[in-house]
Amino acid sequence: MTNNNTHSKSIGYVLWFFGFTGAHRFYYGKPISATIYFFTLGLFFVGWFIDLFLIPGMDRQADHKYSEGRVDYNLCWILLTFLGFFGVHRFYMGKFITGLIYLVSGGLFGIGYIYDYWTLNEQISSVNHAA
């Protein structure tokens, strides 16, 4: 069994700082609870605090669930977070047409940007398996 290291605890803890928005949960592939955190301020900050201790486990689960490949999860998440409205993460994954669409439409007017938060880990896995 290979020991994947697709996600980073360091990035997880940085995102945890903004975790009341669900950022770290999106990163670790937990979009439903991330959305709940987003709308409840990290379950009224209680869940956010508890997650401080759960991040190592979430990191291990993500490392087991997702496979390494040509697209680096960490870099792609950073590109989505800071440049997602411009489609830079999609260009990085080799999705040039949707990258151009995001570039001219502001991430499909923000809807595509949110969609990518929900599905980015699966998109990267798909690209990595196809390679």
**Domain boundary, last residue among 21, 39, 65:** 65
Together in a domain, 49 and 25: yes
The span from the CA of 66 to the CA of 122, in Å, is 8
Nearest one of 81, 73, 74, 63 to 128, comparing CA atoms = 73
**Domain boundary, last residue among 49, 65, 81:** 65
Query: How many other β-carbons are positioned within 10 Å of the β-carbon of residue 98?
Result: 16
Domain extent, residue 53, equals: 9-65
- In eight-state DSSP terms, residue 33 is H
pLDDT tens, position by position, 4-61? 899 999 999 999 998 778 999 999 999 999 999 999 999 999 999 999 999 999 999 9
The span from the CA of 103 to the CA of 87, in Å, is 5
Model-wide pTM > 0.75: yes
Give residue for tokens 């020991």: 3
Together in a domain, 93 and 122: yes
Together in a domain, 44 and 82: no
Domain count, the chain: 2
